[in-house]
Structure 1
Amino acid sequence: MTTELRTLRPEDWESWYGTIIRAFGGVPEEPEEEARWRRLIEFERALATVDGPDIVGTTATFSFRLTVPGGAAVPAGGLSVVSVAATHRRQGVLTGMMRRQLDDVRAAGEPLAVLLASEPPIYGRFGYGMATQQVKATIDTARVRLAVPPEADGVRLRWADPAESLQRCEALYARLVPGRPGMIARASDEWARDRIADPPGDRKGASPLFCVLAERDGELVGYARYSVTPQWDEAGPHGTVGLRDLDALDPGAGAALWRFLAGIDLTSQIETGGRPVDDPWLHLVSDPRRCATRLKDQLYLRPVEVGAALAARTYAAPVDVVLDVTDAFCPWNTGRWRLAGDGAGAVCERTGAPADLALTVRELGGAYLGGVRLSALAGAGRVRELRPGALAAASAAFGSDLAPWVPHSF
């Protein structure tokens, strides 16, 4: 097989996008959806593997800034739309694209690479570790009650057009981004508009997208975007509220929005979508068993430059540890690194000192945002303690007060 890996050209779009659609099931998307993707794709960071006249592999990288523990916004390459034609599997197409993509991320000065995996087993061999999880739930609002704080009563709710309110909602979202690891700053207005994309063909019987604003003394303190799927039987109505986004600046605003969603007429449940594993609603409900929670993997992360990545975040406790890192796919990371840091900052440099912990870059990526404990990975045999006491100290230091979460698809 002779293939060529090249940067995506505008004239390749139709064939390139068609390859993606075929790889993800072959169901055509509405023209509006295709046009949205074309506006989002950074052509200079998208790749096509070509075999003669045919595009047989695709991938794209988005330029993001990812919040890490401590609040810094760290440049990260966001990998997406990875596909290989079924006719060209196991012929090195994927490996070639992943090699080029990570080399390009490194050349761009981005110390991190991230992705949302359609098939998680694929990406471990390229050094990506599961860094965040999310909770999905079906809340039985006919039986579950919410115990909201008194501050919720001082919040005014009102309807808003999703497009007309987008700028205000995005300003609120931007205020929240530095506060939780894993959150992604919107790279452009197009990414903001992506949050309210609502093609009629994708609704599957649901209403158009609704938006409700939460205000206090005229200031926006929260918002929720959702749809309603009506359903009736002989017992009466039991529609579903499908929650897309809910962001709030304080507990009262968040609780007021949850109370509103739970009380929408002619509905009996809320489908939450992916929420943080420490989301406040989990502690507002009267009966968590009737919320049908499901834990799901979310963001996968790998350090592209170990030293720069570890120095970019802060640490929950003082740490001084030598890490023996193995990285088969990006060998420039392999070796011993001394990490010294605390809540004010950190340095991470190569060292010849004896190692305290041994791990691969995949484990480092999993623990990086503080959502996966190094001690848990050690329990699975994936981190080895070489100096007694080093594991507990490092595991505590890598932790995060708020669970990392990514409310941003790509």
Structure 2
Amino acid sequence: MNRDDIDVRPITDDELADWSRALNTGFLRSTPVSPETLEKRREENRVSRVRGAFDAGRCVATFRSFPQELTVPGGAPVPADAISNVTVSATHRRRGLLSRMMTADLAEAKARGDVVATLIAAEYPIYGRYGFGPATSLTEWAVDVPRTGLDPRRAGPDDGGRVDLVDGEDVRKTGPELHERLRATRHGVVDRDELWWRRNTGLAATPEEPWKEPFYAVYRAANGEPEGLIVYATDDAWGDSKQPRNTATVRDLIAVTPAAERALWHYVCSVDWVTTVRTGYRAPDDLLPHLLPDPRAAGVVTQADWLWVRILDVVRALEARTYAVPGSLVIEVDDAAGLSGGRYRLDAEPGGAVCAPTSEEAELTLDVSELGTLWLGDESAVRLAALGRVREEKAGAAAVADALLRTSRRPWCPDIF
């Protein structure tokens, strides 16, 4: 079949059911879509940014984007084009459908003034060819509670603070402010709108995704101010001789102070009958293992890439973030899509940076995908040079890039989208 016979475009409202069926097909979910789910998708999605590929009137590929803010080193937010719900039905692979949808969306994002595009990659090999690079990674631990060395008789924080159980309504009041405080200080974090809080506290359940209420707890400092929130769910498992073997799985943990982080991890490790705590996806440099008397009680069970970034505006991306040391670097950015390639000079100071196109000789050459990987400070340009993924035009340029771009704490994105 000729590729031109497949219509790729934004969907109309009356095509949402067919688009949802194709989405479920791509994600290997049951394909029927309830009226309740369709109504919630109408509320949540901007139809103008929902794309589909149609073959003889049937949707065979899906794509959606939405506005997002991403925190960069130094705490500034930049506008991002967040991409999600990407599928191509198995019957229509290798026909360029994703490329057509992605090309149109990135061009619109560039024209709109978004600094970057973001996504969570289900499969690693797909998105590099569109200029995305893995910019954050994650680690998940399984904590063997009896081995932690924590005192099981301990009743709570010893710093004057307290941990209180709350419900979803309390979380909708307290959570947004805590998250705003977190994303003002931790690069890689993305914003959460009101819909996010409704969906994650049970107000957006559907027949396909029924809601089971988790447990919520808030840490309050000695002055009564909330400084942390944990959300966790438990199973019901018992071993021989009526011994508990329950696992608590952490769905979310926001902490804006080390005291809050310590108190909430110690709390969830003290819940009666819980013998294992799954931490959920955390930053690779999370404090958790060393908040335990025996850090070996926390074993790594998952370690992988997470947030991928596609730079759309090199100048604004590099000027938005801060730098620990002064320095300058001339980079040549290759971009096959023609969205952000060129040669740029970065002059950085701890108080700010200036970036501009230049005709000076390049000192470091890299693809736009590698710039996305380096931008939030997690990866090493020296390491990428050893892998052949960046090229030094001037000896020592990769080390200069590391001195400028790398950050003391690793970037972390706590959300999936």
TM-score scaled by structure 2?
0.92
2:327 aligns with: 319
Distance 1:405 1:39, change over 3 A: farther
1:132-281 paired onto structure 2 within 5 Å = 132-146=136-150, 152-186=158-192, 188-197=193-202, 208-216=213-221, 217-235=223-241, 236-281=243-288
Which one of 7, 27, 34 corresponds to residue 10 of structure 2? 7
1:1-400 paired onto structure 2 within 5 Å = 1=2, 2-28=5-31, 31=34, 36-146=40-150, 152-186=158-192, 188-197=193-202, 208-216=213-221, 217-235=223-241, 236-293=243-300, 294-329=302-337, 331-400=338-407
Offset of 1:353 from its aligned partner? 0.6
Residues 70, 343 of structure 1: 8 Å contact kept? no
Offset of 1:26 from its aligned partner? 3.0
Residues 161, 224 of structure 2: 8 Å contact kept? no
Deviations 1:261-309 (Å, cap 9, x if unpaired)? 0011111000111011121112112333332213111000010122222
Residues 322, 357 of structure 1: 8 Å contact kept? yes
Percent of aligned pairs with the same residue? Answer: 35
Distance 1:280 1:201, change over 3 A: farther
Distance 1:306 1:161, change over 3 A: same
What's the secondary structure of 2:343's corresponding residue?
Answer: strand
Offset of 1:363 from its aligned partner? 0.6
Distance 1:342 1:296, change over 3 A: same
Deviations 1:119-177 (Å, cap 9, x if unpaired)? 121001111111001110111002113499x9744111111112333121211111111
Offset of 1:8 from its aligned partner? 2.2
Residues 246, 275 of structure 2: 8 Å contact kept? yes
Residues 325, 333 of structure 1: 8 Å contact kept? yes
What's the secondary structure of 2:249's corresponding residue?
Answer: strand
Separation in structure 2 between the aligned mates of residue 335 and residue 265 of structure 1, nearest angstrom:
59
Q: Where does the alignment leave 5 or more consecutive residues of structure 2 unmatched?
A: none
Distance 1:107 1:282, change over 3 A: same
Aligned positions, number: 406
Deviations 1:377-402 (Å, cap 9, x if unpaired)? 11211111111222211111101222
What's the secondary structure of 1:113's corresponding residue?
Answer: strand
Offset of 1:82 from its aligned partner? 0.5
What's the secondary structure of 2:260's corresponding residue?
Answer: helix
Separation in structure 2 between the aligned mates of residue 378 and residue 393 of structure 1, nearest angstrom:
12
Offset of 1:258 from its aligned partner? 0.9
Matched to 1:68, the amino acid is V
What's the secondary structure of 2:129's corresponding residue?
Answer: helix
Residues 24, 31 of structure 2: 8 Å contact kept? yes
Separation in structure 2 between the aligned mates of residue 27 and residue 17 of structure 1, nearest angstrom:
11
Distance 1:64 1:203, change over 3 A: closer
After superposing the two structures, state which structure 1 stretch, 128-137 or 285-294, moved more: 285-294
Separation in structure 2 between the aligned mates of residue 344 and residue 195 of structure 1, nearest angstrom:
38
Residues 313, 345 of structure 1: 8 Å contact kept? yes
Distance 1:153 1:35, change over 3 A: farther
Distance 1:37 1:316, change over 3 A: farther
Matched to 1:134, the amino acid is L
Offset of 1:96 from its aligned partner? 0.4
Deviations 1:94-132 (Å, cap 9, x if unpaired)? 110111111011011001001001112100111111100
RMSD: 2.3
What's the secondary structure of 1:167's corresponding residue?
Answer: helix
2:411 aligns with: 404
Deviations 1:19-65 (Å, cap 9, x if unpaired)? 01001113358856665544332222111112221111111111001
